[in-house]
Structures are given as C-alpha cells and as structure tokens.
C-alpha cells in the first residue's frame, strides 16, 4: 500500500517543489532586488528586536546576547524603584503634553490664516520662509539658544531693558524654564513644516463649497469655521493619532543638545536616561529594559489613540 501511494505523493511534492523552483527562476531578478532589502531589515531591524532579550538578562559583553545569564524582571523592578523613575515619567509626558497642547493646534491655525492671505505671491514667500527652521539642525539651533538664553544673551538684554527682569537669568541652568524652552523652540522650528499637510488638505477642498457659501451670504469667518476646518478634520484626526502615539518620544535630538547637569531634573526624559544608563554608564541590560518599557507604552498609546479616534471620527490609521 505504502509503495503504491508514496510515489504519487512524492511526485506531487516534487512537481510542487519544481514549480516553486521554476517560478523562482522566472523571477530571479525580482527576488535578487527584493531579498537584499529583507536581509537589511533582518540585520538592522530584527536583530536589535531580538537583542531586547538582554532586558531580561544581565548582559555580559564577553558572553553576548545568548549566553548572558537570565535575571527575569529584575531590571524592570529596579527601574520602577529608581529614585528618578517618577521624575523621568513626569518629564517625558510633561514635555510631550505641552508640545501637543501648543504645537498641535498652531500649525492648523497657521495654515488656515495663510490660506486667507489674498496675495498668492506673499503667501508663497511666507510659506518658504516658514520651512527654513526645519532645515536647521538642532545642534545649530541649540547653539543659538545657548547664546541667547545665557546671562549676557539677547533675551536677558531685552527683558532687562524693557523692565520685565531686574536681574539676568541663566535660563538653561534652571530646571523650571526647561520645558518652556523645549516647547517654544520646537514650535519655532516645525510650525511651517507641520502646516504643509493642512495646507494641502485645504487646497483639496472643492471651491464650489466656498462659492455656494458666498452666494448664501456667508462671511469669511463663517467659511473658515463651517467649511475649511470641518473639511480638514480627517487630516487633523490622523495627525492627532500620530502625535498622541509619539507622547513617549520627547525629541531626543533637541533635549540632548539643550540638557546640562544643572537642568537635569527637568531634562531627564526616558530616551535621555536610556542614553545615560546605557552609553555613558555601560549598564546595557538596565538601559534596554527602560527602552522596552517605553516602546510598550508607546505601542499601547498608538493603539488607544487609533481606537478612540476611529470611534469618534470614523478616521483611523489602520
């Protein structure tokens, strides 16, 4: 019996495998173009994901990812008991929250107002100028800020001249000003850039809507609030999901440049703490555990924001 069936099965398998080989041969160029991309992702995306296991180990550089001894959740427990834990959470969420609060609506407002400009040429010029800061690095911008916010800097000169300050303040040396500095400088840098998407959404609105409203006697503000803003609400929803899911990211580049030992109590955010523990203090396992904690919260935030927005507006990322 067996001998009667197996050749058939074997034949079937072989021809399936042959078909596979044949197909592979047919698309060998295509696969040769695709597979290097897959290999790149395995090396640079998936090996680091595998490397997360050291969060549950006591990583020993001589033993490597696999052979280092397991320690269970010890690294996480240590982080939750860390005296800076709550401070770090507060800074991470606080900075992001204020960036969201101020930095999210302003580009929308900017786009709407820009759209109301009568002269097309002036509008273009303003737009081009508004993109400029996006192309300046945080290092350069950080350099300007350190110069301006120092005790002899421009900000102090102006504030003392108009009488708001009696004594110059070294703004970056005091934790209480740090959040404000990050929020304002980020808004300055990204206002125009973040408005692009809303401007495009506004440009996509059917002009007939405005014409009809004009015929009905709608004024400028009515049109702004009854047509422009509702028409771009889908875009606003999507951008909001992205912004909320990024709540645990507090712009590493910016804070890394602006931080110093004096403002550490306000500038230690999760990403910075991972850097300090991992790269500076060589506590690889501990830093990886902190990073993993952040990734999980970020993922939960993304899914929640997506779900809530879907319920409220029918718009979602996935």
Binders in 74-113 for another protein, by CB under 8 A: 110, 113
* Residues in 113-132 that interact with another protein by CB under 8 A: 113-114, 116-118, 122, 125-126, 128-132
Check binding of 21 to another protein (CB under 8 A): no
According to the binding rule CB under 8 A, does residue 137 interact with another protein?
Answer: yes
> Residue 65 has which token pair?
């990812």
Task: Tokens for 49, please give them.
Answer: 């994901």
Question: Does position 278 bind another protein by CB under 8 A?
Answer: yes
**Residue list 245-264, contact with another protein (CB under 8 A):** 252-253, 256-257, 260
200 is an interface residue for another protein by CB under 8 A:
yes
Count of residues interacting with another protein (CB under 8 A) = 92
In whole angstroms, give the CA distance from residue 62 to residue 60: 5
Distance in Å, CB of 99 to another protein, minimum: 18
Distance CA 220, CA 290 (A): 51
| Residue 41 contacts another protein per CB under 8 A | yes
Residue 205-234 contact track with another protein, rule CB under 8 A, x = bound: ------x--xx---xx--------------
Instruction: Name which position in 73, 140, 281, 300 contacts another protein (CB under 8 A).
Output: 140
- 266/289 with CB nearer another protein: 289
Is the Cβ of residue 14 or residue 147 nearer to another protein in the bound state? 147
Q: Does residue number 313 form part of the binding site for another protein (CB under 8 A)?
A: no
CB of 42 to another protein, least distance (A): 8
**Shortest spacing between CB 103 and another protein, in angstroms:** 15
Could you say whether residue 268 binds another protein (CB under 8 A)? no
Q: Which of 76, 209, 265, 295 binds another protein (CB under 8 A)?
A: 295
């Amino acid at each position: 019996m067996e001998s009667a069936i197996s050749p058939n099965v074997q034949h079937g398998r072989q021809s399936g495998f042959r078909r596979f080989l044949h197909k592979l041969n047919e698309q060998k160029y295509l696969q040769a173009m695709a597979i290097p991309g897959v290999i790149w992702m395995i090396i640079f995306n998936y090996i680091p994901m595998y490397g997360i296991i050291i969060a549950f180990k006591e990583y020993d550089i001589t033993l490597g990812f696999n052979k280092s001894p397991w320690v269970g959740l010890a690294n996480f427990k240590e982080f939750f008991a860390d005296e800076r834990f709550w401070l770090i959470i507060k800074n991470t969420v606080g900075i992001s929250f204020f960036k969201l609060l101020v930095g999210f609506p302003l580009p929308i407002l900017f786009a709407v107002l820009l759209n109301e400009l009568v002269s097309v040429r002036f509008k273009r010029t303003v737009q081009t100028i508004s993109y400029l800061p996006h192309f300046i690095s945080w290092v350069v911008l950080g350099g300007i800020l350190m110069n301006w916010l120092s005790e002899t800097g421009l900000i102090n000169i102006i504030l003392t001249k108009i009488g708001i300050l009696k004594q110059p303040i070294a703004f970056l040396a005091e934790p209480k000003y740090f959040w404000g500095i990050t929020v304002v400088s980020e808004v300055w840098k990204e206002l125009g850039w973040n408005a692009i998407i809303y401007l495009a959404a506004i440009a996509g609105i059917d002009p007939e809507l405005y014409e009809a409203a004009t015929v009905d006697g709608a004024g400028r503000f009515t049109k702004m609030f009854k047509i422009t803003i509702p028409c771009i609400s889908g875009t606003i929803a999507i951008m909001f999901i992205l912004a909320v899911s990024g709540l645990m990211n507090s712009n590493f580049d910016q804070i890394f440049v602006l931080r110093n030992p004096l403002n550490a109590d306000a500038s230690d955010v999760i990403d910075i703490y991972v850097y300090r523990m991992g790269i500076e203090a060589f506590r690889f396992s501990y830093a990886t555990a902190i990073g993993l904690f952040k990734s999980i919260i970020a993922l939960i935030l993304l899914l929640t924001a997506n779900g809530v927005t879907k319920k409220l507006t029918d718009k979602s990322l996935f």
